[in-house]
Amino acid sequence: MSPRNTYPFLAIDCPSIPENLFESELFGYEKGAFTDAKQRKQGKIELAHKGTLFLDEIGDLPLMLQPKLLRFLETGEFYRLGGTRPVSVDTRIIASTNQNPEGLIREKKFRDDLYYRLKVFLIEIPPLRDRKEDIPLLAEYFMNLYDPQEKKHHLLSQKLLDAFMIYDWPGNVRELKNIIEYLLSTESEDDVIRILNPKAMHLEKYIGAGFVPFRDVSFAYKQAKKLALERFEREYFSQVLKEEDWNITRAAKKIGISREELHRKIKRLGIKKV
């Protein structure tokens, strides 16, 4: 457990803050720094002292502020807007971006020294399209988040999950979150499928049948093949587990794979004990 866990955790959504207000939001300002500065105001870095400040989408941090943030990371000190004395705080900075930092550096939109200073401990999360085994778990998490009474959990049908597995999710987890919110508000799985991909509606009569016929060429071969294979695996493993009363050892032996591989299949395919 981090020793900072009892101290503030603050976040700044970088794209949502106008460039002319960013410095005062981050570093604060002194009384009289500008016309409406009636009194001193602490910035987020100072308010998060001994805790953590999360800079979401740091790729949108204005270029003119990047040297000031770099100096703080190197010295632990900064100046409030209009200030003449340095302020020293102990704030941990965590940053995220869905952009390619090296590409931003090449385009002169992000300083390379700041990037390498931030890159002390890097966690690279693959896009949702490359880890679709997480989709059922994430969808269930958001359903529980927005429908804790489970009154509408039936809307997350197998047909809808199959459509989720086809879609490429350019908006990643945020898009999935928004789609679940939309599903709960409209209560129409067909509307959701139509929004995600109109082509998915062509699969309506096949989803749930366990296969995707080769005659339906509205999907690319790899998409159709992947959908059919995942559907087969989900039904096959679910049936074996049911027959073996969810005894992992017996089920794995019957299938002909290791217990570890079966556990991975259960997680990837989102199979649940009924």
User: What CATH architecture applies to the domain 9-118?
Assistant: 3-Layer(aba) Sandwich (3.40)
- Global pTM reads 0.65
Question: What pLDDT was estimated at residue 237?
Answer: 87
Q: Which phi and psi angles does 22 have, rounded to 5°?
A: -65, -45
SS3 of 214, please? coil
> pLDDT tens string for the chain (274 positions)?
788 989 999 999 999 998 889 999 999 999 998 888 899 999 999 999 999 999 999 999 999 999 999 999 999 999 999 999 999 999 999 999 988 899 999 999 999 999 999 998 989 888 898 888 899 899 999 999 999 888 888 888 888 888 888 888 888 898 999 999 999 998 888 888 888 765 444 444 444 444 444 444 455 656 666 767 777 788 888 888 988 899 999 998 888 888 888 888 888 887 887 6
Q: Which phi and psi angles does 87 have, rounded to 5°?
A: -110, 130
Question: What pLDDT was estimated at residue 186?
Answer: 87
Question: What pLDDT was estimated at residue 85?
Answer: 94
Amino acid letter at 69? L
CA 65 to chain centre: 26
Query: Could you please report the per-residue DSSP string of 128-195?
Result: GGG-GGGHHHHHHHHHHHH-TT-SSGGGS-HHHHHHHHHS--TTHHHHHHHHHHHHHHH--HHHHHHH
Asked whether 48 and 9 are in contact (CB, 8 A), the reply is yes
Which residue spans of the chain are classified as CATH 3.40.50.300? Answer: 9-118
